[in-house]
Chains A and B, each alone.
With several copies, the nearest count.
Chain A
Amino acid sequence: MTKARVIVTLKNGVLDPQGKAIESALGGLGFAGIGSVRQGKVFDIVLEETDPARAEAALKKMCEQLLANTVIEDYSITIG
Chain B
Amino acid sequence: MSNPNAIPITPELVAAHGLKPDEYQRILDLIGREPTFTELGIFSAMWNEHCSYKSSKKWLRTLPTSGPQVIQGPGENAGVVDIGDGQAVVFKMESHNHPSYIEPYQGAATGVGGILRDVFTMGARPIAAMNVLRFGAPDHPKTRHLVSGVVAGIGGYGNSFGVPTVGGEVQFDERYNGNILVNAFAAGLADADRIFYSKAEGVGLPVVYLGAKTGRDGVGGATMASAEFDETIEEKRPTVQVGDPFTEKCLLEACLELMATGAVIAIQDMGAAGLTCSAVEMGAKGDLGIRLDLDKVPVREEGMTAYEMMLSESQERMLMVLRPEKEAEAEAIFRKWGLDFAIVGETTDDLRFRVFHKGEEVANLPIKELGDQAPEYDRPWVEPKPAAPLADADVPQTDPAEALLKLLNSPNLSSRRWVWEQYDTLIQGNSLQIPGANAGVVRVEGQEKKALAFSSDVNPFYCEADPYEGGKQAVAECWRNLTASGALPLAATDNLNFGNPEKPEIMGQFVFAIKGIGEACRALDFPIVSGNVSLYNETLGTAILPTPTIGGVGLIRDWSRMARVRFAAEGEEILLIGAPAEWGTHLGQSAYLRELFGKKIGPAPKVDLAHERRVGDFVRGLIQEGIVTAAHDISDGGLAVAIAEMAIASGIGATIEEPAAPSPIAAFFGEDQGRYVVTALKGTAAKLAAPEGVSVQLIGVTGGTAVRLGNAEPVSVEALKQAHESWFPSFMDGKPA
Chain A positions near chain B (C-beta within 8 angstroms): 11, 13-17, 20-21, 24, 28, 69, 71-72
Determine the chain B residues whose CB is within 8 A of the CB of A28 once the complex forms: 734
Complex-state Cα separation, A4 to B349, whole angstroms: 52
Cβ-defined contact, A69 with B103, below 8 A? yes
Determine the chain A residues whose CB is within 8 A of the CB of B241 once the complex forms: 15
Q: Tell whether A72 pairs with B106 under 8 Å between CB atoms, given A15-B217, A21-B246.
A: yes
B721 within 8 A of A: no
Which chain B residues in 210-246 approach chain A with CB under 8 Å?
212, 215-217, 237-238, 240-244, 246
Determine the chain B residues whose CB is within 8 A of the CB of A71 once the complex forms: 102-103, 237, 240
Residue count of chain B within 8 Å CB distance of chain A: 23
Q: Quick one: closest B residue to A16, CB to CB?
A: B242
Q: Tell whether A14 pairs with B240 under 8 Å between CB atoms, given A21-B246, A28-B734, A72-B103.
A: yes
Complex-state Cα separation, A11 to B102, whole angstroms: 16
Cβ-defined contact, A13 with B238, below 8 A? yes
Complex-state Cα separation, A15 to B216, whole angstroms: 9
B386 within 8 A of A: no
Q: Tell whether A11 pairs with B238 under 8 Å between CB atoms, given A17-B244, A69-B103, A71-B102.
A: yes
Complex-state Cα separation, A17 to B106, whole angstroms: 12
Within the complex, the shortest CB–CB distance from A8 to chain B, in Å, comes to: 15
B61 within 8 A of A: no
B300 within 8 A of A: yes
Instruction: For A13, give its contact among B102, B103, B216, B244 (CB under 8 Å).
Output: B216
Which chain B residues in 103-159 approach chain A with CB under 8 Å?
103, 105-106
Cβ-defined contact, B242 with A17, below 8 A? yes
Within the complex, the shortest CB–CB distance from B109 to chain A, in Å, comes to: 11
Cβ-defined contact, B215 with A72, below 8 A? no
Instruction: For A15, give its contact among B215, B237, B238, B338 (CB under 8 Å).
Output: B215
B247 within 8 A of A: yes
A-contact bits for B290-315, CB 8 A (1 contact / 0 none): 00000000001100000000000011
Determine the chain A residues whose CB is within 8 A of the CB of B301 once the complex forms: 13
> Known contacts A15-B315, A16-B242; can you find 15 more A-B pairs with CB under 8 A?
A11-B238, A13-B217, A14-B217, A14-B240, A15-B212, A15-B215, A15-B241, A15-B242, A15-B244, A15-B300, A15-B314, A21-B246, A71-B102, A72-B240, A72-B242
Determine the chain A residues whose CB is within 8 A of the CB of B217 once the complex forms: 13-15
Determine the chain B residues whose CB is within 8 A of the CB of A72 once the complex forms: 103, 106, 240, 242
Q: Quick one: closest B residue to A69, CB to CB?
A: B103
Name A's interface SS.
Answer: loop
7 nearest A-B residue pairs (beta carbon): A17-B244, A15-B242, A71-B103, A13-B216, A71-B237, A72-B240, A71-B240
Determine the chain A residues whose CB is within 8 A of the CB of B315 once the complex forms: 15
Name B's interface SS.
Answer: loop
Determine the chain B residues whose CB is within 8 A of the CB of A14 once the complex forms: 217, 240, 242
Complex-state Cα separation, A20 to B240, whole angstroms: 18
Determine the chain A residues whose CB is within 8 A of the CB of B244 once the complex forms: 15, 17, 20
Cβ-defined contact, A13 with B215, below 8 A? yes
Within the complex, the shortest CB–CB distance from B107 to chain A, in Å, comes to: 10
Instruction: For A17, give its contact among B103, B105, B246, B734 (CB under 8 Å).
Output: B246
Complex-state Cα separation, A72 to B105, whole angstroms: 11
Complex-state Cα separation, A24 to B246, whole angstroms: 13
Which among A11, A15, A21 has the greatest number of chain B C-beta atoms within 10 A? A15
A-contact bits for B237-277, CB 8 A (1 contact / 0 none): 11011111011000000000000000000000000000000
Complex-state Cα separation, A11 to B669, whole angstroms: 52
Q: Quick one: closest A residue to B247, CB to CB?
A: A17
Q: Quick one: closest B residue to A14, CB to CB?
A: B242
Complex-state Cα separation, A72 to B238, whole angstroms: 7
Task: List 23 interface pairs A-B (beta carbons < 8 Å), by A numbering.
Answer: A11-B238, A13-B215, A13-B238, A14-B240, A15-B212, A15-B217, A15-B241, A15-B244, A15-B300, A16-B242, A17-B244, A17-B246, A17-B247, A24-B338, A28-B734, A69-B103, A71-B102, A71-B103, A71-B237, A72-B103, A72-B106, A72-B240, A72-B242
Determine the chain B residues whose CB is within 8 A of the CB of A69 once the complex forms: 103, 105
Within the complex, the shortest CB–CB distance from A35 to chain B, in Å, comes to: 12
Complex-state Cα separation, A69 to B247, whole angstroms: 23
Determine the chain A residues whose CB is within 8 A of the CB of B103 once the complex forms: 69, 71-72
Complex-state Cα separation, A5 to B241, whole angstroms: 25
Determine the chain A residues whose CB is within 8 A of the CB of B300 once the complex forms: 15
Within the complex, the shortest CB–CB distance from B216 to chain A, in Å, comes to: 5
Within the complex, the shortest CB–CB distance from B711 to chain A, in Å, comes to: 45
Within the complex, the shortest CB–CB distance from A39 to chain B, in Å, comes to: 12
Complex-state Cα separation, A35 to B101, whole angstroms: 33
Q: Quick one: closest B residue to A71, CB to CB?
A: B103
Complex-state Cα separation, A20 to B211, whole angstroms: 13
Q: Quick one: closest A residue to B102, CB to CB?
A: A71
Complex-state Cα separation, A11 to B103, whole angstroms: 14
Q: Quick one: closest B residue to A25, CB to CB?
A: B734
Complex-state Cα separation, A69 to B102, whole angstroms: 11
Determine the chain A residues whose CB is within 8 A of the CB of B242 once the complex forms: 14-17, 72
Determine the chain A residues whose CB is within 8 A of the CB of B106 once the complex forms: 72
Within the complex, the shortest CB–CB distance from B260 to chain A, in Å, comes to: 26
Within the complex, the shortest CB–CB distance from A71 to chain B, in Å, comes to: 5
Q: Quick one: closest B residue to A72, CB to CB?
A: B240
Determine the chain B residues whose CB is within 8 A of the CB of A17 once the complex forms: 242-244, 246-247
